[in-house]
Amino acid sequence: MRARDVSGKPRVLILNQYYWPGVEATAHLLSELAEALADEFEITVVTGMVAEADQPGVTERRGVRIQRVRSTAFDRSRLALRATNYLTYLGQSLWKSLRVDRPDVVLCMTDPPVIANIARSSAHCVPRSASTCSGPTVSSPSARPCASGSNTRARRANGSA
């Protein structure tokens, strides 16, 4: 069964270490993007712990399902502590991303820098007919970069072109 057959909306899995209520720039940008897309897509965000979050687990905010994993949230001013945060998030996000409902699209931001590898691992679940042609951090089995501003294939995959 295709992922969108159940809810009528394509599923998007988003991976980023930071998300609301974090104060990081990517947390703000990603929160705005995910919430804006929630009317047309079923959005799941796999994110890490931030100082402003109470605990790991699943919450929902403005139509976005937030799966906060058990990662460290040490002060990032020291490189070793920042690396620990990255490694704990990467391990936990891989585990969770392989266990969420099968996505049509996997999107990752640049934090941590190697999160695209997790997206590629998760993309094995993405059906080929829903492949997108978007930026290099959107992953599906046949994803590839497009010309700037072009997302015709993505619209076609979602039935909107």
pLDDT digit string, tens, across residues 22-55: 888 888 999 999 999 999 999 999 988 887 877 8
Distance between CA atoms of 29 and 133, rounded to whole angstroms? Answer: 21
| DSSP label of 22 | -
The Cα angle at residue 131 between residues 135 and 59, in degrees rounded to 5: 80
User: What structural domains does the chain harbor?
Assistant: 4-157 (3.40.50.2000)
Indicate whether this model's pTM tops 0.85: no
**Selected residue with higher pLDDT from 39 and 96:** 39
Mean pLDDT of the chain: 73
Report, as an integer, the average pLDDT of 97-120: 75
Q: In the β-sheet with 42-47, what is the strand arrangement from edge to edge?
A: 57-61, 64-68, 42-47, 11-15, 105-108, 138-139
